[in-house]
Structure 1
């Protein structure tokens, strides 16, 4: 019984994520999710009282995905290669949880619990992670910036990540959002960092940018 319950719970979360990404969260109801899974609405409500609870669980996956992949290695200092990991994580998060970025203000407005936890995550956990990474890259000699730059660039990077897919939809209303859309977003982030890259690393940085050519 417990094994079946866990399996159904996880299936609901994973398949909901797929449907939200493909069709948008606002277009999908709990009845759509139940029908997609081949279960009764009552079975779904046994695990989740409403769609907002499913969205919240997906957000927890997103937060865990970010924090675990961007965790500072405890046994060593950051290296230039860690910037690649940082960007790959940003790209993978943008793509894997892309529905969250289609209409984030509306998503948060419809889900007060999510709104509170999202703001706490961005303004505390994520801010600390970004600040630590930037300071490590400065110490490495890859970047040159002061504390004010760190604050401003962190905000600008998050604005790009947060609204990139909405921008793509507005700029190309008839185009389908693809992985190439995410790569363009990561390249835009790299463009923000370029003025702060130290000369000895500029060639490697330029090559890194080319990795994200659409």
Structure 2
């Protein structure tokens, strides 16, 4: 693995474990056993590292993780894959979502990239919801679509921060993310058509079981 990639991966690990605010470039260099000068050869500062981390996250989300709506993928399966993938990606990059407003305020380049990526994500979520409606699985008015998309993205983006303000526990594990998926299903549930309701309930039960299993594993 190239030194630049090692710096990115080490930074993700340290930021997740210790909190981005508590980790300096010197900490990252010491963790890798390289000199600060070697690190600065690849990155100008910590903000530059975080921007590169987000670019990696955006590529994986939009190119590798985000399900493509197609005749081969059932619409409900696609949106469940989306929720699962987004929350798993958040697990890997959880430091970013724990301190999002501050990180964006400190780094104009990161904010610009973030806004660009979020626009793409909003478009993809809209496509998924429209595919669900075309398949007769949900029903909503056209004028409600932007608000539904915004609410879904709000939960995706800020669920982790909200969770951390509601508990004294500091550990973030799979149960937290399965709980987030269940919140998304609650939002979608009122729009489910009668024919689709059994599938939605089946999906909800599946994530409830995953949530319970993750809690038991933690204990």
The answer to whether residue 95 in structure 2 is matched with residue 99 in structure 1 is yes
* Equivalenced residues, count: 208
Contact 1:142 1:198 in 2 (8 A): yes
What residue number does 1:65 align with?
60
Corresponding residue for residue 111 of structure 2: 115
When normalised by structure 2's length, the TM-score is: 0.89
> Map of 1:139-178 to 2, 5 A cutoff?
139-178=134-173
Which residue is equivalent to 1:3? none
Instruction: Give the CA RMSD over aligned residues.
Output: 1.6
Residue of structure 2 equivalent to 1:17: 12
Residue pair 1:72, 1:78 contacting (<8 A) in 2 also:
no
Which of these residues, 186, 195, 199, is aligned with residue 190 of structure 2? 195
Q: Which runs of 5+ in 2 are unaligned?
A: 212-219
Taking structure 1 as the reference length, the TM-score comes to 0.91
Structure 1 residue ranges (4+ consecutive) displaced by more than 4 angstroms after TM superposition: 73-78
User: Unmatched 5+ residue regions in structure 1?
Assistant: 1-5
- In the alignment, the residues of structure 2 paired with residue 71 and residue 175 of structure 1 have an alpha-carbon distance, to the nearest angstrom, of 31
* Structure 1 residues 76 and 210: CA distance shift in structure 2, 3 A: closer
Q: What are the superposed Cα offsets for residues 165-202 of structure 1, whole Å, 9 maximum, x if unpaired?
A: 11111100234222211111111111111101111121
Give how far 1:76 is off: 4.6
Most deviating of 171-180 and 192-201: 171-180
